[in-house]
Chain A
């Protein structure tokens, strides 16, 4: 087999590719968790993940540094998640060239108890109204209230009110009271 020069010399990456790779490595877990928090089905969560990555890639050149890059990424991720639906997914399937085999499933071995808790957590988040879901997932990532307010477009005070309700709701759902108590 004869290799041509293009196969022997690795492709030089441009600055956008390098920047994207850096951002991807730092934020992929958070985006992945956000997707699973918004969409129950794994396949749909993968589609949402892809859509968010496409938008980050497409808008990377226009990032002006007016906010933290993580806030910027979250804003894209949440706005995408809020308007993401099955129908949107079907529409976008025709537009994407990314491998359909992209599997983001977690290879780590959780204990059975942890696995059950994770499923309960997803269910609890999924049951929240959309805006609360945004706040809940940001809260779970330890995002400051100021950033949550900036991303969601509500006041910091209202974030604080919502946070208390969300914390109580999630904690209650993950600690179901035994019957009879």
Chain B
């Protein structure tokens, strides 16, 4: 016997989800919500805690150069923090208010932005950090011999750029595996929606 579309609809709608303990579900949802809030607070607290520690540990009142270096570090950290925060694709991101097309567009833009942060902005961040630390070292290491000072300046600069370069490379490799397929899928979907 042939199955027509009405039969298919009936068959589809005959499937029911098993009822389960709703109280446990709501409790689970509340716990998840609390956990995610705690994580967000933790992430938001890292920058101010680090900066407070630096201002506490460094003799910025005694030297304007050190104060300048701390300000540069603070600006760089806040800037990168803001970039990362604005590029995060939260699971909940506007999914409630956007149509598919708008949702896909914003998700795609955010994913592209994450690539841009890793590939471009993080090198500039490394440059700012290196510059600020070098300014601070210039003052702090003044009593030491020139050889030690030059070695320290070159060493810290190389370390910052090498560590940053490899972490960026690793990040981009990870994005190639995780974000790229999603981006390709989103692009495909967007083309389909536009048609």
Where the two chains meet, the residues of A that have a C-beta atom closer than 8 Å to any C-beta of B are 13, 17, 20-21, 24, 28-29, 31-33, 36, 49, 51, 53-55, 57-59, 62-63, 72, 75-76, 78-80, 82-83, 85, 87-88, 92, 95-99, 102-108, 110, 114, 117-118, 121, 129-131, 134, 139-142, 150-154, 167, 170-171, 174-175
Contacts and interface: CB of A to CB of B under 8 A. Distances in A.
Given A106-B16, A153-B102, A140 B96 contact: no
Interface string B1-27: 011110011011111111110101110
A138 to B, nearest CB: 11
Contact of B25 (A72, A98, A103): A98
Decide if the interface of chain B is mainly helix, strand, loop or mixed. helix
Contacts of A63: 96
Contacts of A83: 89, 107, 182, 186
Given A88-B91, A106-B15, 5 more contacts: A28-B17, A57-B26, A62-B97, A82-B104, A175-B2
Given A29-B17, A96-B28, A114 B99 contact: no
Contacts of B13: 29, 33, 140-142
Nearest to A98: B28
B32 A98 contact: yes
A175 B136 CA distance: 76
